[in-house]
A = this chain, B = another copy of it.
């Protein structure tokens, strides 16, 4: 099963084959989105829930001074707007970073699924709560850690999240964010993002070639970043150490 959404949701509930089949069915028809476009904008009230099946995107807000603040990265398998059926209006925008494959599911379809498939409902609930935990972790690191550790923390998180959906081979994974994206996510200037990234490379903590990032010594990076993955709540499955099949994905 290569569907990243399903791979991820497995961590949120004990899915059955029936559940998986239903999820696969839901994500069968996707459409493409270009890189660097908005999928949804703040104040809109989207008609459906979207899932990123392939590619990278981000949640962001534009502040009054014109600056962009990225408040989350979306990787394959992530939901864009599970909250919309309840909240109505978007309180942030979602934009693609790379080109993406996106699934759209109507609200009625979501309601139907959550009513008929309680384990899926639980997994969606879990997914939303993990997003919340991730926000808390970002807030804590952004508030208290210097920029180099923040960036290292982000890389640790991406490493783990991408491993879950099978995008990591060895300790190498795609990291298509530009330095501006990183800067907007960490709340620093692009110039500073550049310097911090250089420092991490000089120190041998990360290797960045093309858009692929390699972590030569994950333990060292984890310690440096003060990264504690508990907020991702992946413990339902075995430790992830090498428990996940390492299937490189194009």
Chain A positions within 8 Å of B, measured between CB atoms, are: 12, 42-43, 59, 61, 63-65, 67, 69, 71-72, 83, 86-89, 91-92, 122, 125-126, 128-133, 135-145, 184, 186-187, 226, 230-231, 233, 235
State in angstroms the CA–CA spacing of A133 and B98 once bound together.
25
State in angstroms the CA–CA spacing of A141 and B67 once bound together.
10
A selection of 7 A-B contacts at a CB cut-off of 8 Å is A63-B140, A63-B226, A69-B139, A83-B133, A88-B235, A91-B230, A91-B233
Contacts of A140 in B (CB 8 A): 61, 63, 69, 71
State in angstroms the CA–CA spacing of A187 and B141 once bound together.
9
Q: Is the CB of B142 within 8 A of A87?
A: no
Q: Is the CB of A144 within 8 A of B69?
A: yes
Could you list 4 further interchain pairs (A-B, Cβ under 8 angstroms) beyond the known A83-B129, A89-B230, A91-B133? A65-B144, A86-B125, A92-B231, A142-B142
Contacts of A231 in B (CB 8 A): 91-92
Partner of A132, one of B63, B122, B128, B145: B128
- Which 3 A-B pairs have CB atoms at the shortest separation, nearest pair first? A143-B187, A135-B135, A69-B140
Contacts of A129 in B (CB 8 A): 83, 86-87, 128
Q: Is the CB of B136 within 8 A of A61?
A: yes
Rounded to whole Å, the gap between the CB of A180 and the closest CB of chain B is: 14
State in angstroms the CA–CA spacing of A116 and B231 once bound together.
31
Partner of A83, one of B88, B132, B145: B132
Name the residue on B nearest A83 (C-beta). B129
